[in-house]
Structures are given as C-alpha cells and as structure tokens.
Amino acid sequence: MPDDTITWRAMLAETAQVVADRTSALWLCQRASGYDAEEFMGELDNPVTSRSATHLHDMVRRFIGGEPLQYVLGRWAFRRVDIMVDTRVLIPRPETEMLVDLVLEEVRQKPGSTIIDLGTGSGAIGLAVLDELPLSHSTVWMTDVSRDALDVASANVAGLGRPGISARLVHGSWFDALPVELKEAVDVVVANPPYVEDDDPDLEERVREWEPSLALFAGPDGLRDIATIVSGCNQWLRSDGLLLIEFGSRQGDAVRALAIDAGLCDVEILQDLAGLDRVLRARTSH
C-alpha cells in the first residue's frame, strides 16, 4: 500500500474524532465507501480510494456545519424502505412508522383498496405501505402542495421498483389535489401533516433551521392543517372509511374534539412507542 493511502479503519477513527460521534462517523464512512453496513466491516483493512475520501470530506464538512445527518447521507430508512431525502422534504421519523401498521391492519384483507397519503413529502408513508402489501393489492394516491416535495417522492417511487406501479402522485393542497371520481370512494386517508405551533419554543433548533417550514408549521396552535383534513375527509372517504392523522403530543384533546365536531365516529387517540399521544384514528359514518 503506498504511503499516502489509509485504511477505512484509520479513516473511521479519524472521522470519529473530527465529528465527535462514533455512530455518525460510521454512517458517514459507510456511505462514502459505497458499501452496505455489513460489507463495510469486511473492508476495514482495505485502502480508502481518493474518490471516497473526497466524498467523505465533503459530507463531514456539511455535518460539522450543522446539517442533519440524514440530509448529509441523502437517504434514511423508514420501515423497510430506503428513502431519498434532502432539504426539500421532512426527514422520516420513527414515530411515523406506526401509521403504516395502522393502514396495513385496515387494508390487508381488502384487496382493491384506495389509500390517500395526504401531504406525502418524501413519499415515506405511501411507499412503505406499498412495499409491505402484495403487488397491485391497493392503489396509493400521494399528494403534496410542494412541487419540490413531489419531485423527491417521484424519485422515491422510481427507487421502490415494481410496487411503485400502484402509486399515483398528484399536486395540490390536501384534498384539492384529488380527482373528483375519488369522492366517497376512498378506504383510508392517512397523513402526517404539519402540526408544530409557529412559535413552539420546544422545537429543536436544527429542525427549525434545516427542515422545510411548509412541512412543519401549522399556525399559532399547530392545528390549521389537521382541522382542514378532519373536516374535509367526509367528502372523500367511503362509509366506514378510516382516517389516520399524526399530531403533536400535546394536541390529543384538541384533535379529538375536532374529529367529534366533524361527525366522525369510533374516535380514538393512540399513543406512540414513547407513550405520547400521537395518532388520531376515526371513521366516517355516512
């Protein structure tokens, strides 16, 4: 090995010092190497190519500049899907994964279902649903008001391969994006809408600085978009259709009241893995 080359083991140690975090250093080195996690462990005593070193230095520079690791890596895992992410979309969060279980539980025994992922962002929810259903089992409409987000979602649909044929991407604000033929024909509406209060003092600085405001903030009480979805869903869901919405951990009572006011039935507030109020589940009764 020539003198100017270093092994991945040495590069990893050096990176861990620079970024002061061994786990992030491992992610960054793996990504720069082009190997998957398992392969990378077998490469530790092999030399780092200059191309990988350049890629790594660029990522380390962004990471120590404060950019979230997920954006620096350019992708993040959501359930079984590797989702491409950048600053055009929210980073998929673990608490959102439960929405996918709730959709699957509803439609697994109902082939031919129509599912709407409203405000899809990166496409994480809709694509994870398609990935875990048999091929062509159900159709998932994915909407977003942000054309930038739809570009990311569309790249992720392509990345999913064959299950992606059942995805339909449409542009527009909430239900306005949908074709009228879907009125009262939808089995499930699922959404992780913006729900952060505009001036929320608890919001992490890194989130506020880097993630798209459009995907985060929903007015002084954070309920603006949830209210729109709850009141609009009656026109689109079929009778006994299911509504699933993620919300902020302090919004449970307000969200329950919105659902009851809209005439929805079987209204439930479900907790996430941390035991915090997180998801509204309700049904249409018309």
| Least separation in angstroms between CB 207 and ligand GLN | 5
Q: Tell me the residue type at 247.
A: F
Pick from 146, 192, 251, 284 the residue near ligand GLN by CB under 6 A.
192
Q: CA gyration radius for the chain?
A: 21
Indicate whether 174 belongs to the interface with ligand GLN (CB under 6 A).
no
CA–CA–CA angle 264, 79, 200 (5° rounding): 60
Between β-strands 75-78 and 81-84, what pairing exists: parallel, antiparallel or unpaired?
antiparallel
| Least separation in angstroms between CB 184 and ligand GLN | 27
Taking a C-beta distance cutoff of 8 angstroms, is the pair 217, 207 a contact? no
75 vs 17: CA distance, rounded Å: 23
Size of the site for ligand GLN (CB under 6 A): 8
180 vs 103: CA distance, rounded Å: 23
CB atoms within 10 A of CB 95: 17
Range in contact with ligand GLN (rule: CB under 6 A) among 143-151, 170-178, 190-198, 253-261:
190-198
| Least separation in angstroms between CB 277 and ligand GLN | 13
56 vs 24: CA distance, rounded Å: 12
Indicate whether 196 belongs to the interface with ligand GLN (CB under 6 A).
yes
Indicate whether 121 belongs to the interface with ligand GLN (CB under 6 A).
no
26 vs 270, beta carbon nearer ligand GLN? 270
Which distant-in-sequence residues (6+ apart) come within 8 Å of 158 by Cβ?
164
124 vs 169, beta carbon nearer ligand GLN? 124
Pick from 194, 262, 267, 283 the residue near ligand GLN by CB under 6 A.
194
Indicate whether 78 belongs to the interface with ligand GLN (CB under 6 A).
no
Pick from 55, 62, 93, 108 the residue near ligand GLN by CB under 6 A.
93
25 vs 259, beta carbon nearer ligand GLN? 259
- In the region spanning residues 218 to 277, those forming contacts with ligand GLN, defined by CB under 6 A, are none
Pick from 71, 78, 175, 195 the residue near ligand GLN by CB under 6 A.
195
Exposure string for 63-81, b = 16+ CB within 10 A, e = fewer:
beeebbbbbbbebbebbeb
85 vs 196, beta carbon nearer ligand GLN? 196
SS3 193: coil
Residue with tokens 């092994």: 7
Structure tokens of 285?
């009764």
68 vs 163, beta carbon nearer ligand GLN? 68
Indicate whether 216 belongs to the interface with ligand GLN (CB under 6 A).
yes
Q: Which residues bind ligand GLN (CB under 6 A)?
A: 93, 192-196, 207, 216
